[in-house]
Amino acid sequence: MSDAINPDFPIEPIRTVEDLMDLASGMEQDAAVRYEQLAEAMDRRDEAALAKLFRELAALERGHVEGIARWAARDGLRRPEPAHFTWRLPETFGDEAEGAAAHILTPYEALAVAVRNEERAFAFYTYVSAMADGEVQRRAESLAREELNHVALLRDWRRRAYHAARPARQRDLPGSLEELRALAVGLEHAAADVDEAAAASLDGGGYPEAASLVRHAAEQARQRAAALAPAPREPAPGTAAAEGARAAGLLHPGALTPSGALRLSLRNAEEIVSLYLETAERATDQRLLEETQRLAEQAMGRLALVRSLMPDLDEG
């Protein structure tokens, strides 16, 4: 077995055009699947324009797969056999988080994932081109140019998503366990406040089972906040979603419909997960990283619960 050509791409060197087409077809095929997943995730967030973009990119990738097959047929080569080449999703929690990862991404994070993987594909084809010659080199260069066009488009969308999300993300992230505990107390209280209001709305709207589940989640958040309360500093502010709702009077009984209250709970849960994930990504201390990951796993469980209740309300 030959050594991998690059640690980022654990495959053997590309020696023939057919080998290149196998890999290119596999990369395009996997990208199409991932773009469909991102489109579905954006649908759930009511991000129609972004969902449309991802679906168009999925169609483009499928078109590339067909184009590669036509390219091979035209040149008298065998039909490409798509090689396995998976996208990289956020790795904060390892492989077990990948199944749910696409469903909790914000628009900016979804676009960042897409940009990183298109850049990875561009780097791959560029590397192949530099290491090959003749027809393999020429075709690798052509494929690299296509990926670069995708990168440019996605970078533009990512920049717009960053500026759109920036106001809600301007807060200091914890750099120590003490600061993390203070942040967590504020976030857990925010989760409890929002979920208690959602449970009341669900009860009033005739969804007692959903109300019971959300109320239990609120109780768990209060318990977590109490366990963290001995932190030697004041709790940090709650989430932007919770504070905005409180200021607008939306946490009072009857202020929101059951669906509206649950959507607020969803936005709040997403914000909490995002803050913990950002903290984990930037942590340089091992103890801080491990505690942040523990809190994030709990927050992801709450987010999954709220998401699971949304279809029931939509059908009701």
Same domain, 164 and 218: no
Same domain, 100 and 156: yes
Q: Mention every residue, 6+ apart, whose C-beta is less than 8 A from residue 48.
A: 42
At 149, list the tokens. 């066009």
Q: Mention every residue, 6+ apart, whose C-beta is less than 8 A from residue 47.
A: 107
Same domain, 115 and 202: no
Which segments in the chain show pLDDT lower than 70?
1-13, 85-105, 163-171, 229-236, 311-316
Residue 269's pLDDT is 92
Same domain, 248 and 142: no
At 269, list the tokens. 């849960």
Q: Measuring CA to CA, which residue among 126, 255, 304, 272 is closest to residue 192?
A: 272
At 110, list the tokens. 């979804």
Residue 188's pLDDT is 94
At 140, list the tokens. 């690798």
Same domain, 22 and 162: yes
Count of CA atoms in the C-beta half-sphere (13 A) of 185: 16
Residue 103's pLDDT is 54
For residue 293, give the CATH number of its domain. 1.20.1260.10
- Note the pLDDT tens digit of each residue in 65-110: 898 899 889 889 899 888 876 555 433 223 333 444 455 567 887 8
Say how far apart CA 266 and CA 314 lie, in whole Å.
Answer: 14
Of 120, 153, 168, the domain-final residue: 168
163 falls within a domain = yes
61 falls within a domain = yes
Residue 222's pLDDT is 94
Same domain, 124 and 246: no
Q: Are 83 and 10 in contact (CB under 8 A)?
A: no
Say how far apart CA 225 and CA 219 lie, in whole Å.
Answer: 10
The total number of residues shown for the chain amounts to 316
Residue 2's pLDDT is 40
> What's the total number of domains in the chain?
2
Task: Give the CA distances from residue 164 to residues 56, 78, 108, 157, 161, in Å, rounded to whole numbers and listed in that order.
Answer: 22, 47, 9, 11, 5
10 falls within a domain = no
Same domain, 274 and 216: yes
194 falls within a domain = yes
Same domain, 99 and 183: no
Say how far apart CA 133 and CA 52 lie, in whole Å.
Answer: 39
Q: What are phi and psi for residue 6, nearest 5 degrees? A: -165, 135
Same domain, 94 and 158: yes
* Helix or strand holding residue 85 (H, E): none
Residue range(s) defining the domain that contains residue 91: 17-168
Same domain, 87 and 177: no
Q: Measuring CA to CA, which residue among 9, 36, 39 is closest to residue 24?
A: 9
Residue 59's pLDDT is 92
3 falls within a domain = no
Burial label, 48 (beta-carbon count in 10 A; 0-12, 13-18, 19+): exposed
